[in-house]
Structure 1
Amino acid sequence: MLLSHVDHLAFEVLRATDPAASAFFRTLTEAGDSKWTLVPTGVIGSCLVLAGLWLVKARRAAAVARWTGSALLFVFASIALSGIIVNIIKVIIGRARPKLLDQIGFQGFDPMILDANFHSFPSGHTNTAVAFALAVSFLIPGWRAPLLALAGAIGFSRVAVNAHFMTDVIGGAALAYPTTYWLRARFAAQGWVFARSGAVGFQPQWPGRLLARLAERSLRRPLDALGAPDGRQLRRA
């Protein structure tokens, strides 16, 4: 009952959204499509790993190529695993999308159906955005705050464009956390990308820590120019 109230309130607020804002959200929501993250991370990651194994002769350069490729494949796997689980849940639950609201209301469900109109819960775009943000932030901790903020904006856009209810977005975001954290632990257990740090923590292996510092510095400069917190503050966020 409470969740239905949340969906109803969000729907009523966003129904009065300015047309200009609606156009912005339609553009932003496209960033949550998994093709924009799965394809580049999968293809580039695989190429870098193969290059590090067979093509690059310099030892350090080969190590950098292998780690970077493996890190991209970790991001790929995080999005793919979480997305598969989301798609299975969509079919099992069979929640109607908001465009069917006038016909069946907020409680429209038709479980075990392949009709995309009944695949509202959970939001796949939001799940992709959050899984991507978490996976990259495990590799570059200083990017966590802006990446999660962007993921949140993409999730909000799914409601704004009338593709999902608010609880769909919350569910999609929530599902990204256990899958991505679990996958990081599995990679570390296999000696891939991450190493254990302390009792329960993880950190990127070499050369990941060096590359993370370089990436954080690249973000810190424009943030400093805007008066935003520096990389050290972002890591603590």
Structure 2
Amino acid sequence: MPSVDSARQRLTDLLGPRTGRLLRPRNPYLRWLLWSTLASLACILLVDRQIVLFFYEHRTHWVYGFFQAITDIGMGTGWYILAVLTALAGTGGERFTLSVARALMWRRVRNAGLFLLASLLLSGIVMIAIKVLTGRLRPRYLFEDGSYAFQPLTFDTGMVGFPSGHTQTIFAVMTVFWLVLPQHRPLYLIVAVLVGFSRVVVGAHYLGDVVFAAFLSIALTVWLYERMVRRGLPCRLQRGGYVLPFFRRRTP
């Protein structure tokens, strides 16, 4: 069976050394961005229209009702409030406790709240910028008049949908939870995937919008986490392994 290295070498020989290097950059975040972009482009070109039309034409009451009920978990307001309250609680607990150990614990709580807030803000700002630049029309325009197009520099974010804001929010939140409360990781993954998929089922977004938003939030949140650790700002609240091999840097 051919190895991964031999497959990469064949790809490099086929495309040329320069193109081969572009397809496997050393920086893990560039690799993540590259492959997420390619995955989204594949969805846009091959399956986005068919999937969203399938759910629109085969809409059943109980399926639509279930996903409509959970899709609003991805709204940002409640998560921003949680982040601010957590940071304030940690600050107050650290200030008024008389125990050094408890002060350190409350400091972690404060940092976790700030981490959540920073992740939501950063991924949200980047998401809005990409929406404006790409201007991909939402599925409702496909349902109404068959429009399946991009209108770059469209500042009406309710009109454009790439990437998905609800997906960006829920994946940012669940990635934060994954890192600071690692004992319940399967639950975080299930919630994030269900909410992201709900955006396609209810006809608010294409699959490509959801895929790119998920990758975007994960990468930015992990990047923030690494910066906090390097600056000596611990925010983990439970023990657990930091298992995100996609972002491990290659050794030369």
Distance change in 2, residues 1:99/1:236 (3 Å): closer
1:153 aligns to 2:194 (yes or no)? yes
Q: Which residue of 2 aligns with 1:81?
A: 122
Distance apart, 1:104 and its partner CA: 4.8
**8 Å CA contact retained: 2:162, 2:209:** yes
Query: Could you give the per-residue CA deviations for residues 69-97 of structure 1, whole angstroms, max 9, x where no partner exists?
Result: 21122122112211111011111111111
**What displacement does 1:6 show?**
1.1
Mind listing any 5+ residue stretches in structure 1 that lack a counterpart? Answer: 195-203, 217-231
1:121-140 alignment, distance < 5 Å: 121-140=162-181
Question: Counterpart of 2:151 in 1: which secondary structure?
Answer: coil
Give the distance between the partners of 1:51 and 1:79, measured in 2 at CA: 24
1:41 corresponds to = 83
Residues 128-183 of structure 1 show CA distances to partners (whole Å, capped at 9, x for unaligned) of: 11111111111122222220111000001001111111110111101112201110
Q: Residues 1-33 of structure 1: CA distance to partner in whole angstroms, max 9, x if unpaired?
A: 842331122113212121121111111000000
Contact 2:86 2:109 in 1 (8 A): no
- Give the letter aligned to residue 48 of structure 1: G
Bigger RCO of structures 1 and 2 (CA < 8 A, at least 6 apart): 2
When the two chains are superposed, the root-mean-square deviation of aligned CA atoms in Å is: 2.2
Return the alpha-carbon distance in structure 2 between the equivalents of residues 153 and 188 of structure 1: 30
Aligned length in residues: 201
Residues 1-237 of structure 1: matches in 2 within 5 Å? 2=42, 3-15=44-56, 16-52=58-94, 54-101=95-142, 102-106=144-148, 108-193=149-234, 204=236, 208=237, 212-213=238-239
Tell me the CA shift for residue 57 of structure 1: 2.2
Give me the whole-angstrom Cα distance separating, in 2, the residues matched to 1:38 and 1:95. Answer: 26
TM-score of the superposition, structure 2-length normalised? 0.73
Runs of 4+ more than 6 Å apart: none
- String of CA shifts for 1:81-133, please: whole Å, max 9, x gaps: 11111011111111111111133522x22111222343200001111111111
Sequence identity of aligned pairs in percent? Answer: 29
TM-score (norm. length: structure 1): 0.78
Q: Give 3-state SS (helix, strand or coil) of 2:88's partner.
A: helix
The one-letter amino acid of 2:69's match is T
| C-alpha contact 1:96 1:117 (8 A) present in aligned 2 | no
- Extract unaligned runs of 5+ from structure 2: 1-40, 246-252
CA distance change for structure 1 residues 72 and 155 in 2, over 3 Å: closer, same or farther? same
Q: For the Cα contact (< 8 Å) 2:85–2:113, is it kept in 1?
A: no
Cα distance in 2 for residues equivalent to 1:22 and 1:80: 30
2:157 & 2:127 partners in 1: Cα distance? Answer: 13
